[in-house]
Amino acid sequence: MHKEFVKARDTIFSLTELRPEILIILGSGLGTFIELVQDRISLPYANLFPFQKPVVEGHGGLLHIGHLHGTPIYCMQGRNHYYEGYSDQEIRFPIQLFAHLGVKTLLVTNACGGMNPELVPGDLMLIADHINMIGRNPMIGATDYDLGPRFFDMSEPYSLKLIALAERIGKQQGIGIKKGVYVGYSGPSYETKAEIAAFRMLGGDAVGMSTVPEVIVANQCGMEVLGISCITNMATGMQKRKLTHSEVIEVANQAGEKLSRLLSGIVFEIGKK
């Protein structure tokens, strides 16, 4: 994939002199944050990723490059998922690309289902750790030793320092924030009642179809990672009505304002250092 990295890099560098060290990934329905990015330029994923398929509803499929509080950032509006038919190599390509471009910090968000009864739709949950139930590891295959080792540590996949920073900013802004364990599930079907019960027994608090692959790749690349989940619904068996993607998008849109404020505050603090 080396020539594809070079092609994507040259495309980005031809449009901007910015060299951000922060990458933000926005999940389903969470695109309102984009309005805060100043002097931004936007690129369709199809211009960067040679394997790109049509994007999922609620995912913009755009890379935005601009400033937030004077700090340059990359912001991916949406992401690729295993359930869309992507290979391990294709799933890891975006994160590896930005690692090659000098990104040091990944702020990743998602819309997901709550399994812990203490979570309610609209809550923001900082990801303390995750459980990979997708059945795949994106690092299977050839290793780019320029980015990291074949065997790498995952004892702190989500930075304790960034979690503490997010908690402090949330408190300052009056945003109630929860913390928990995220379970990655392949999809595209939602989980069964028995699966949710099993995930709860394993220690899971929320479940979704993304994030885990990106975080694994980012850790191999040596990035510092913060994960934020927006609870958009209660998981199967925890509510009477059936789950729909439209419900996910609706609640994510409603929670977008406080997520945007939280991300903005985090970027501001990181940019001061």
Count other C-beta atoms under 10 Å from residue 168's C-beta.
13
Structure tokens given for 110: 């998602």
**Candidate list 8, 74, 81, 166, residue with the active-site label:** 81
CA distance 273 to 265: 13
**Candidate list 76, 111, 234, 235, residue with the active-site label:** 111
- Using DSSP's 3-state secondary structure scheme, residue 48 falls into coil
Q: Is 218 a catalytic residue?
A: no
Q: Is 67 a catalytic residue?
A: no
Q: Is 84 a catalytic residue?
A: yes
CA distance 211 to 63: 17
CA dist 237 → 18, 102, 234 (Å): 47, 43, 8
**Candidate list 28, 116, 219, 253, residue with the active-site label:** 28
CA dist 122 → 30, 31, 176, 230 (Å): 12, 15, 10, 6
CB 32 within 8 A of CB 257: yes
CB 62 within 8 A of CB 45: yes
Residue pointed to by tokens 């996910």: 248
Question: Residue 183's beta-bridge partner residues?
Answer: 131, 207
Query: Rg of the chain's alpha carbons, rounded to an integer?
Result: 17
The reported pLDDT for the residue numbered 180 is 98
DSSP 82: G
Q: Was domain 2-271 assigned CATH 3.40.50.300? A: no
- Residues 77, 35, 164: CA angle, nearest 5 degrees: 75
Structure tokens given for 55: 């994007």
Question: Residue 114's beta-bridge partner residues?
Answer: 206, 234
Q: Please classify residue 243 by burial: count the beta carbons closer than 10 Å to its beta carbon, then call 0-12 exposed, 13-18 middle and 19+ buried.
A: middle
Cα-to-chain-centroid distance, residue 95: 11
Total residues belonging to the chain = 273
**Candidate list 99, 125, 209, 252, residue with the active-site label:** 209
Q: Is 233 a catalytic residue?
A: yes
**Candidate list 8, 45, 59, 185, residue with the active-site label:** 59
Q: Is 252 a catalytic residue?
A: no
Continuous segment of H or E residues that includes residue 32: none
Does pTM top 0.85 for this prediction? yes
One digit per residue, the tens of pLDDT, for the chain of length 273 reads: 588 999 999 999 999 999 999 999 998 777 789 999 999 999 999 999 888 876 665 557 899 999 999 999 999 999 999 999 999 999 999 999 999 999 999 999 999 999 999 999 999 999 999 999 999 999 999 888 999 999 999 999 999 999 999 999 999 999 999 999 999 999 999 999 999 999 999 999 999 999 999 999 999 999 999 999 999 888 877 766 676 767 667 776 777 889 999 999 999 999 986
Q: Is 245 a catalytic residue?
A: yes
**Candidate list 4, 83, 128, 198, residue with the active-site label:** 83
Q: Is 130 a catalytic residue?
A: no
Q: Is 111 a catalytic residue?
A: yes
**Candidate list 233, 234, 253, 260, residue with the active-site label:** 233
